[in-house]
Amino acid sequence: MFAFIEYSWLMIPSCIITILLLLVTVPDDVAYTPFLIFAFCSMICTVRRFFRARMLYGEQQTTET
């Protein structure tokens, strides 16, 4: 379970970098707008997944002891 939490945590900076790069790219080429929208949705899902994994990990730790 810890590996999933670590993966989720590492994806958050990746989403932030993607959004920043697309924010720079979209003014030059509007065709990248759907990718920017997808990046925002991906960021929301990644943050929710991280907190859900932390909650599940906490529940798992309390049931093991």
31-47: per-residue pLDDT in tens?
999 999 999 999 999 99
The whole-number pLDDT of residue 4 equals 62
How many independent structural domains does the chain possess? 1
Better-predicted residue by pLDDT, 50 or 4:
50
pLDDT of 61 above 90: no
Please give the residue range of the domain that contains residue 17: 2-64
CA atoms in the 13 A half-sphere facing the CB of 53: 15
What are the C-alpha distances in Å from 23 to residues 11, 35, 40, 52?
A: 18, 10, 11, 28
What is the rounded end-to-end Cα distance, in angstroms, of the chain?
16
| Average confidence score pLDDT of the chain | 89
